[in-house]
Structure 1
Amino acid sequence: MILQTDFVAAFITGLLGATHCIAMCGGIACILGSRANNSSNKLLVSIGFNLGRILSYSIAGAIVAGSIQAISQVHQSFYMLVALQWFAAIMLILLGIHLTRWWSILTPVEQLGKGLWSKVQPKASKMLALQHPAASLPLGMLWGWLPCGLVYSTLVLSASQAHWLNGAGVMFSFGLGTFSVMLLAVLLGQQLTKLMTNRVLQVCSGLSVLSLGIYQVVTLL
């Protein structure tokens, strides 16, 4: 039951965090959409880019959850897993506050991934220069490692699964939550970007994620 709830929570987090997704990835989505010379290519580019992102999220989930799985098998630490579940719930609450733009509380957390991104970004830039729709999949896979508080918050939830496959499943669910909005970002470009930067929508999405985090805390009591 807890596992199913975590999958749902990850999906909802991705869906409600759409305003943050647009802020982080809306620019590249607009570029990809503008380069497509017809509707069919634009759809293929959008699907490829977003599937690439989801695949990278799933790989990251498998890595962090698999690492916790290996540690827990050695130390058999039940309390560590409980602590991770609490940490995941608290991260959701902080993420909700972050999404409202009232307090950019997770900005320091996003800085943690800059070292990895500095190595990935040049390759992503080269891939972005390619015009063929097939390049959108590997580009999405590279872009999936962009430092992002939304992703990192969900990775904590993924780690609490303590099994690489379940961890990958949580991040896959999260990716599916972001998929619809990011798909539209490539197809609609600036029109969707303007909608997603609406302050009322940002505050509502942030408060919704905050409520989800509070619900997670209640379930742990």
Structure 2
Amino acid sequence: MIEHGTLIAAVLVGLLGGVHCAGMCGGIVTALSLGTVRAPGVDAGPSPGVSWPLLLSYNLGRLLSYTAAGAIAGSAGWFATRMMDVNQAQLVLQVVAGLFMVALGLYLAGWWQALARLERAGGVVWRRLEPLGRRFLPVRRPGQALAVGLVWGWLPCGLVYSVLIWSVASGGPLQGAALMAAFGLGTLPNLLLMGVMAASLGRFLGRRPVRVSAGVLVAGFGLFMVVQAVFTVGL
């Protein structure tokens, strides 16, 4: 089973990654919270205020997609460990995951944009999935919001990709699913608040000191993962 400390760390990464979530998902979350997500040319009428059923349903769908992706990534890592010594494979995967976390921290801080290229590569798959999400517009019911969340969970995102690499090193499909679920829960506070107070929260998360602080903390965690793996090999 995956350690509780690892799950807590995944929650914290999701929370700190809110500076990125605001840009990637802030628009649709704000629209959902106001019940204004619609197809082009469709008038949603006057805004009824915060629509919690739509907002919560969307986020549930997003978390389910994250969990499924984590199970797939964990399975890939499990098969990789069968190809070589289990301990050695897990250490290698942990180093790779740690390096991705460092890259994520630098990305969040705005110091290195390598993960942006990974997001663009993921856009190839997203171009095939995004039209599927449009079939559920306009969003008027929780079921539609859930479906949109299920699709939006696969949006190309360097933050999600980095945690998926971490899931590969988690040890198996259940561990990978748990890790991504914990990460998804960590993203919830920012996105729920974004739905309620989009303008002020967006400005706060967009401030450079906030982004740099979050990036440094995430990069520091990645370095810890790498050092921990190297120290284990040294023993």
The two structures have a TM-score, normalised by structure 2, of: 0.86
Name structure 1 gaps, 5 residues minimum: none
Question: Which residue number corresponds to residue 100 of structure 2?
Answer: 91
Whether the aligned pair in 2 keeps the contact of 1:65 and 1:160 (CA below 8 Å) is: yes
* Dislocated runs of 4+, deviation >4 Å: 36-39, 74-77
Question: Which residue number corresponds to residue 130 of structure 1?
Answer: 139
Question: Which residue number corresponds to residue 43 of structure 2?
Answer: none
Instruction: Please say if 1:107 is aligned against 2:121.
Output: no
Q: Distance in 2 between matches of 1:111 and 1:77?
A: 33
Question: Which residue number corresponds to residue 67 of structure 1?
Answer: 76
Question: Which residue number corresponds to residue 164 of structure 1?
Answer: 173
Whether the aligned pair in 2 keeps the contact of 1:33 and 1:189 (CA below 8 Å) is: no
Q: Greater helix percent: which structure?
A: 1
The CA deviation at 1:94 is 0.8
Aligned pair in 2 of structure 1 residues 47, 2: CA closer, same or farther (>3 Å)? closer
Whether the aligned pair in 1 keeps the contact of 2:74 and 2:170 (CA below 8 Å) is: yes
Where do 1:1-150 residues align within 5 Å?
A: 3-35=3-35, 38=48, 42-73=51-82, 75-150=84-159
The CA deviation at 1:134 is 2.7
Aligned pair in 2 of structure 1 residues 67, 75: CA closer, same or farther (>3 Å)? same
Aligned pair in 2 of structure 1 residues 26, 192: CA closer, same or farther (>3 Å)? same
Q: Distance in 1 between matches of 2:2 and 2:174?
A: 15
The two structures have a TM-score, normalised by structure 1, of: 0.92
The CA deviation at 1:26 is 0.5
The CA deviation at 1:76 is 4.8
Q: Distance in 1 between matches of 2:4 and 2:120?
A: 31
Question: Which residue number corresponds to residue 198 of structure 1?
Answer: 207
Question: Which residue number corresponds to residue 187 of structure 1?
Answer: 196
The CA deviation at 1:73 is 3.2
State the identity %.
Answer: 35
Q: Distance in 1 between matches of 2:147 and 2:170?
A: 27
Moved more, 99-108 or 123-132: 123-132
Q: Distance in 1 between matches of 2:110 and 2:137?
A: 29
Whether the aligned pair in 1 keeps the contact of 2:35 and 2:139 (CA below 8 Å) is: no
The CA deviation at 1:138 is 1.3
Q: Distance in 2 between matches of 1:161 and 1:70?
A: 12
Question: Which secondary structure does the structure 2 equivalent of 1:121 belong to?
Answer: helix
Whether the aligned pair in 2 keeps the contact of 1:29 and 1:185 (CA below 8 Å) is: yes
Whether the aligned pair in 2 keeps the contact of 1:42 and 1:187 (CA below 8 Å) is: no
Q: Distance in 1 between matches of 2:105 and 2:22?
A: 16
The CA deviation at 1:74 is 5.2
State the one-letter code of the partner of 2:31: I
Q: Distance in 1 between matches of 2:24 and 2:137?
A: 16
Moved more, 139-148 or 129-138: 129-138
* Equivalent residue pairs, number: 220
Q: Distance in 2 between matches of 1:210 and 1:146?
A: 23
The CA deviation at 1:161 is 1.5
